[in-house]
Structure 1
Amino acid sequence: MTLPRYAYLGPSGTFTEAALLAMVDPSEVEAVPAIDVLTALAAVRDGDVDYAVVAIENTVEGGVTATLDTLAAGAPLVILGEVVLPVSFELVARPGTAIEDVTAVAAHSHGLAQCRRWLADRLPGAVHVSATSNAAAAGELAQGATGFEAALAPPGLGARLGLEVLAAGVADNAHAATRFVKVGRPTAVPAPTGADKTTLVVHLPDDRAGALLEMLEQFAARGVNLSRIESRPRSDRPGEYSFSIDALGHIDEPRMAEALMGLRRTNPVVTFLGSYPAATGYPTPITPGTSAEDFSEARAWVQGLRSGRH
């Protein structure tokens, strides 16, 4: 039997691979490394792989724009699950390199951002070299790349590559974490768990005072809490923005379904990117008057009025 194929940001040893392994049994999938997020998601759209695991948000930089923008445009994709992993780095170098010898450090741009203050304090003046991934930077260093003397690597990777660890626990925030999502082609939405998240992209109807408030009221009026909202520039209308949103709840819940209907009625573009179990597992708080039972009772009441029952 053919194993499902999962694309991830490679090479082997990345935090994204660790997220993939936290989501699935490695013996039951074929892991396919990709050079970047765009390539991983394109492989899903093209049918070359079944799923992709990509970073979507971290506690230092916020949303991963490459993921948000690629999900929002092109053939439909949906998020099917998520996992949150703690993130810290090791500063690694070739054997014999002292930390005083380091004049340039390589890492993925998000890795550099998550260690910006640490690098400024411990390696002032060192040049930051962007790589396709933290694992790729460490791999290139181990293979003799020039242009940088050290790399920020996931814990344990440097030792596997024969590099020395110059510093461990490298991070600006000891509690830094990154959220990763499993992405696939559209399919039937999984049943609600009571601890779910729905991801959307919404374009406002026009650029005017109050337009964003009116969009947000579609959620507020139905007791739907937003855990994330970020503006992203619209490529078709310079100076205007769309909004990437995580809402707590599931499309099968009446409050979420009615919020989506309200958005659809009042905004020109609403892109549904999936309802899926939230990584926290915490039950979604329900505002009084917005439970499934409340909506059912209200619909029955209106139907009764139509039938002459008051």
Structure 2
Amino acid sequence: MSLASKKPTLAFLGPRGTYSHQAAFDCFGGSVFYEEKQTIAEVFYSVTPEIPLGLVPHENSIYGAVVETCNLLRSSLAGRDIVIRGDVTLKVNHCLVVRSGVKLENIEHVLSHEQALGQCKAFIAKYLPHATLVPTDSTASAAQILVSPKHDGLDPLKCGAICSQVVTTIMDGLEVLSEGIQDEDTNFTRFYVLSWGKSTTIPPPVPDLSQPRALVRLSYPPEKHFKFAPKSQDLTPLLVALGLCITRIDRRPSTYSIPFHDVFFVEATGDELAEDAEEDISWTEKVRQGVERVKQAGGEVCVIGTW
């Protein structure tokens, strides 16, 4: 069996050339096979023994949490069969990509997803003030138009696409004309690395594991006699019982058929500077002990991942 055939497959939100693809490629390079999916849900549910790895966006520094990902993590599969094994942060770095040889003065149309077009307004206004903006389904599909025959009357030799640099590695005949053209330089997206079970090997280069983290799903058991959940679902006792350093909390409606009954996603991190009696306890054991305390406090809890 060749080394290449031993590489695992990783599912990501496609098409190829998206920022999800860029994040996956930056993390794993040539150590995995890449399989594109049309939705985040397809990525999540494709994580199986056949496709043991997946990458899903979790939060953006400007737009906040990715609701679809949070909703998927409510599934009973999360924490049981599909677990989080790491996180990857990507700086969204928009590039102006063209057919090889096309100059800035040749561009009459700028193609990209509408969000990317909006995020590069200043560059377009300064360098391409007379260009027509053409929204596309994704940044990658904008690049695809450049390597296709005329699309809807658009001449690829008179077009530029705003997209990720990774498209130039998978589409022949493209080059980056200008890099880092976004108006804001603080646009980052964080992704979760998913695996089928805890024993799946994460190929090198692995995600940065220098700071231990965990994602825990918390809720109170539903009161069957309540038509509606109580207006106040005080999370404080459960958080105190968990006893970990909490860096993020997201709330979504639970999967129970009780209006306003919520589930909370609590991300915690290990305190590397702690000097207590338990400093020699592993991070996984600290999380396990916290989970047991939550159960004793009357909460429902599931560890979706430790890394």
| Counterpart in the other structure of 2:165 | 155
In structure 2, relative to structure 1, the CA distance for the partners of 1:49 and 1:98 (3 Å cut) is same
Spell out the pairing of 1:12-23 with structure 2 (5 A cutoff). Answer: 12-23=16-27
Deviation by residue 1:175-203 (Cα, 9 ceiling, x = unmatched): 3222222211222599xx77200012222
Identify unmatched segments of 5+ residues in structure 1. Answer: 277-310
Shift, 1:247, TM fit: 0.6
Q: Does 1:33 align with 2:36?
A: yes
Shift, 1:53, TM fit: 1.9
Identity %, equivalent residues: 23
Q: Identify which of 86, 92, 112 aligns with 1:106.
A: 112
Identify unmatched segments of 5+ residues in structure 2. Answer: 202-208, 222-228, 271-281
Deviation by residue 1:184-243 (Cα, 9 ceiling, x = unmatched): 1222599xx772000122224453435122333224xx3x21121111233544434322
In structure 2, how many angstroms separate the alpha carbons of the residues matched to 1:232 and 1:87?
26
Q: Does 1:195 align with 2:211?
A: yes
Q: Identify which of 183, 206, 209 aligns with 2:232.
A: 209
TM-score, L = length of structure 1 = 0.67
Spell out the pairing of 1:161-176 with structure 2 (5 A cutoff). Answer: 162=173, 168-176=179-187
| Counterpart in the other structure of 1:270 | 301
Spell out the pairing of 1:27-176 with structure 2 (5 A cutoff). Answer: 28-45=31-48, 47-76=49-78, 77-92=82-97, 102=109, 106-107=112-113, 112=115, 116=118, 118-119=120-121, 122=124, 129=135, 131=137, 133-140=138-145, 142-143=147-148, 144-146=150-152, 151-155=161-165, 157=167, 160=171, 162=173, 168-176=179-187
In structure 2, relative to structure 1, the CA distance for the partners of 1:135 and 1:266 (3 Å cut) is farther
What is the RMSD of the two structures over their aligned residues, measured on CA atoms?
A: 3.8
In structure 2, relative to structure 1, the CA distance for the partners of 1:73 and 1:129 (3 Å cut) is farther
Q: How many pairs are equivalent?
A: 262
- Highest relative contact order (Cα 8 Å, sep 6+), 1 or 2? 2
**1:106 and 1:130 in contact (8 A); partners too:** yes
In structure 1, how many angstroms separate the alpha carbons of the residues matched to 2:19 and 2:136?
16
In structure 2, relative to structure 1, the CA distance for the partners of 1:25 and 1:122 (3 Å cut) is closer
Tell me which protein shows more helix as a share of its residues. 1
| Counterpart in the other structure of 2:284 | 252
In structure 1, how many angstroms separate the alpha carbons of the residues matched to 2:248 and 2:134?
29
